[in-house]
Amino acid sequence: MRVYANPVGRGSLWFDNLATATGTPVAYDPQARAFITMPPFCANRDVIGCNWIAPEQGGFCRSCAMTALAPDPSIPNAMPHWAKTEAAKRWVIDNLGRWNWFRPEDPGAPPVFHLLAEGPTPVAMGHVGGVVTISVAEADPVLRTARREALEEPYRTMIGHMRHEVSHMLWWRLSLRDDFLDAFRAMFGDEREDYAEALQRHYRQGPPAGWRSSFVSTYASAHPHEDWAETAAHLLHLTDIADSFVAAGLSSADLPHHGWDPYMEADAERLIHVATHLVMGVNHINRSMGLLDLYPFVLSEVSRRKLAFMHDWLRRGAQGL
């Protein structure tokens, strides 16, 4: 994620800022990729702290307009959890916009989000036909950590959930192309395998022996759809880690050149090489504070080929160039 210029003075702005250090209200314009001071601001600004602009007074920003179902405010903590979930959604939508997904120039359908609070029954997160369902309850770090431990996952965040579920939606979009499915099946397998049965087998038996040689995570081994979504999420993780590293003004001998833009990088192997070397360094820094690794994964050669395949398709952008 980039670091942004302050439109009214010195200093920088971060993606989630609602105001400058001196208190001037600002909002993010995702089309210009810049902060501005002039309204109209998103109608959810005072409701959940959305900091994007709106197309008209009283309207919703591009990201909030994608939310068709919002959580029931009568459920305890639904509103603060919704605010954190929408913040994660804005981050991921803006990342994908760097490859022209879900922007005005995108000729395809944008995702529709159902962001639901949990009552006595947990919310099943997933994607069906362009609709992404997310449990806002997982914005609670205690609940999220408990589920991460129960499922033996090394990484679980709201941005991670968004990247994974939106990646299912991207598969759906790409599957409408004549040239995609055969290439996908050659790399990931046949997604027509019974999905429910595959997940039941995964939760009953666990991942296959030697899964690390072919998959980025245990869940990726459950079904070709999950292999796609997990791999796509990892490509988005690595690209944004590298982009944020550069935007923060950090330097490394692994960077190809000054001003390198990971989202503009055409060579997938170079992007993956740089990003993985950067995260090894940051992992080392985290360990000095007794924190978990930023990126607790090891990528096999097969996984790297899948990431390169993903990079080719997603970087083409929504117009499929």
Interval 187-213: pLDDT, tens? 999 999 999 999 999 999 999 999 999
pLDDT at 178 over 90: no
The residue among 119 and 33 whose pLDDT is bigger is: 33
Instruction: Quote the tokens at residue 281.
Output: 């360094």
Which pTM value belongs to this model? 0.94
Interval 245-259: pLDDT, tens? 999 999 999 999 999
Hey, is 5 helix, strand or coil? Answer: strand
Tell me how far apart the alpha carbons of residues 225 and 193 are, in angstroms, rounded to a whole number.
10
Hey, is 254 helix, strand or coil? Answer: coil
With a CB cutoff of 8 Å and minimum separation 6, the contacts of 73 are 79
8 A C-beta contact, residue 216 and residue 234: yes
Question: Is omega for the bond preceding 40 within 30 degrees of 0, making it cis?
Answer: yes
Tell me how far apart the alpha carbons of residues 150 and 134 are, in angstroms, rounded to a whole number.
19
The pLDDT mean for the chain works out to: 95
Tell me how far apart the alpha carbons of residues 230 and 171 are, in angstroms, rounded to a whole number.
12
Tell me how far apart the alpha carbons of residues 236 and 280 are, in angstroms, rounded to a whole number.
17
pLDDT at 295 over 80: yes
8 A C-beta contact, residue 100 and residue 319: yes
Tell me how far apart the alpha carbons of residues 147 and 208 are, in angstroms, rounded to a whole number.
22
Domain ranges of the chain: 4-61+95-106+158-319
